[in-house]
Structure 1
Amino acid sequence: KIFSPVNFASAYNPGHVKSLLLRRENLRYIGTNPVAGQRSMSQSSLAGKVAIVTASTEGIGLAAAQALGKRGAHVVVSSRRQANVDKAVALLQSQSIQVTGTTCNVGKAEDREKLVQTTLDQCGGIDILVSNAAVNPFFGNIMDSTEEVWDKILSVNVKSAFLITKLVVPHMTKRGGGNVVFVSSVAGYQPMQALGPYSVSKTALLGLTRVLAPELAHSNIRVNCVAPGVIKTRFSSALWGNEDIMDEFKSQLSIKRVGEPEEVGGVIAFLCSEEASYITGETITVTGGIGCRL
């Protein structure tokens, strides 16, 4: 006799068989389980949510802001230069996205605090943090890197990511929970030649995700990470703009092309949605199929 939930239930309570069969027919109709069905109908947007996205006036950060905004979130964008902020705000407004913009150098404590306070003043709370800011002031043999290079990279790429998370967590808790997404890199799994210190900082974000997820779960805050491959942004132009480097990369790719920022932004928005409500402590690689492991 083939085991099934109906057979199991009928062995204990035959009167439930009819209702279970009807329920199964309903599931077949919506094509999913009851919880997922409810989400697809009533919780598919981020309407009413407030999202901070750091380094979000271009590239992956801007794509993340667009993806979150198009799903109904009020996005708070930032970068170090006011002109870039103004340009991004104008673009997002033209796409009917609710947006607030401010300058922020995440490496400075006063700027991180200003970003959070501006968000609270303008939007009333915080539900989502996408930590995207990163620097790479060094390109070459790792043995030639200096203490100053390491201080700069680890301060911005790792320490600031944690410290801004620490700032927003109390406000997410007041709202009943939230989402944190760190933007790492395929370099965190497979160190890139001449990008040693940067690669180490991106590996650290994988660890930070795993450490924070269980600690913040009791506050209903999920912590996840994305690790993009070679994406067509200004930041990575030294890679995708070099034919020899790209030939090497493409030999490792299943999808034989450079990725687009929107392809990462969509994954970030998914991780912040109810569709990902049972995902925390994970890193999704968006690499075109490069094998990634630690």
Structure 2
Amino acid sequence: MISMNKKLEGKVVLVAGAGGIGNALAIRYAEEGAKIVLGDIELATAEEAAHQISVMGGEAIALRLDGADEASVASAVSTCCDTFARLDGAHINFGFLADGNPQIGVLELPIEIYDETQRVNARGFYLCTRAVLPRMIEGGGGSIVYTSSAVADAPSPAQVAYAMSKAAGHALMRHVATRFGAQGIRANTIAPAMTIHARIEKLVPPEMIEWARSAAAIKARVGRPDDIAAMGALLLSDDGSYITGQVISIDGGTTMRP
């Protein structure tokens, strides 16, 4: 059932990117009282979460969203405002993950994979930001949360295109926080390490999960989507009203920045 302790009561939140993490975000934000618009390039995945939210007594709309397509993003934002008359928060969460082979570096990675990684992960976050900002400013302010990755700040012999795209997202977040803070806009980034959910468990060998566990300071488990959703709920809420411009690691102490 929907929680009685609702951090996001009365807020409208767009979650761009469904799936293992995105669905958990949407469900947690609905539990906190938000009205949700959840979009993904795979509509059926977004519909699963929207149905679950409806069963819990919340309000959610699922739609097809290609985060790297300007018209698709604009349509999703219009749906938020046309249906719920406002937009208070956005969690930009989608990603292109083809650059995942640990044996491939800058000399071996096909330029087509590099280009698509930047188009979706960097350009897509840019387009979503451009679409949501004017509506939030018109409404008196809002909060944007970006999902990144620990690889954006960690040295690695692999995932060069993916790490570059996520580092670009950090620069975008800081720009938004600095330029639009006076207009009531907050922007923050959540940077998880390995986050396990049903889809990932089918793809990741057990030894990789064990490696992630051993790399973290917390050894009891690896990260879960609910860990990201809990922080996202804080950052989107009035409880997080003095937090902006931050990259927050949700990784069990895998990384530790000053």
TM-score (norm 1): 0.79
1:138 CA displacement: 2.7
Q: Are 1:120 and 2:81 an aligned pair?
A: yes
Q: Select the structure of larger CA radius of gyration.
A: 1
> What one-letter code is carried by the residue in structure 2 that aligns with 1:126?
L
1:106 CA displacement: 0.9
Q: Provide Cα deviations, 1:178-204, integer angstroms capped at 9, x if missing partner.
A: 000010011112255542211221122
Secondary structure at the residue paired with 1:251?
helix
1:237 CA displacement: 4.2
> What one-letter code is carried by the residue in structure 1 that aligns with 2:206?
E
* 2:8 equivalent in structure 1: 46
- Going from structure 1 to structure 2, the CA distance change for 1:185 and 1:238 (only over 3 Å counts) comes to farther
Inter-partner Cα distance in structure 2 for 1:74 and 1:278:
23
Q: What stretches of structure 1 of length at least 5 have no aligned partner?
A: 1-42
Inter-partner Cα distance in structure 1 for 2:180 and 2:45:
33
Inter-partner Cα distance in structure 2 for 1:229 and 1:276:
22
Q: Are 1:290 and 2:254 an aligned pair?
A: yes
Q: Are 1:109 and 2:70 an aligned pair?
A: yes
Secondary structure at the residue paired with 2:131?
helix
- Going from structure 1 to structure 2, the CA distance change for 1:84 and 1:264 (only over 3 Å counts) comes to same
RMSD: 2.0
1:82 CA displacement: 2.7
Inter-partner Cα distance in structure 2 for 1:180 and 1:172:
10
Equivalent residue in structure 2 for 1:221, among 172, 180, 185: 185
Equivalent residue in structure 1 for 2:197, among 201, 223, 233: 233
Q: What stretches of structure 2 of length at least 5 have no aligned partner?
A: none
Q: Contact (CA 8 Å) 1:191, 1:200: kept in 2 or not?
A: no
Q: Are 1:136 and 2:97 an aligned pair?
A: yes
Identity, % of aligned positions: 28
**1:133-282 matches, cutoff 5 A:** 133-140=94-101, 141-142=104-105, 143-233=107-197, 236-237=200-201, 241-256=204-219, 257-282=221-246
- Going from structure 1 to structure 2, the CA distance change for 1:85 and 1:61 (only over 3 Å counts) comes to closer
* 1:33 equivalent in structure 2: none
- Going from structure 1 to structure 2, the CA distance change for 1:191 and 1:246 (only over 3 Å counts) comes to farther
Q: Contact (CA 8 Å) 2:7, 2:233: kept in 1 or not?
A: no
Q: Contact (CA 8 Å) 1:131, 1:161: kept in 2 or not?
A: yes
Q: Are 1:70 and 2:34 an aligned pair?
A: no
Q: Are 1:85 and 2:46 an aligned pair?
A: yes
Q: Contact (CA 8 Å) 2:27, 2:52: kept in 1 or not?
A: no
Q: Contact (CA 8 Å) 1:206, 1:225: kept in 2 or not?
A: yes
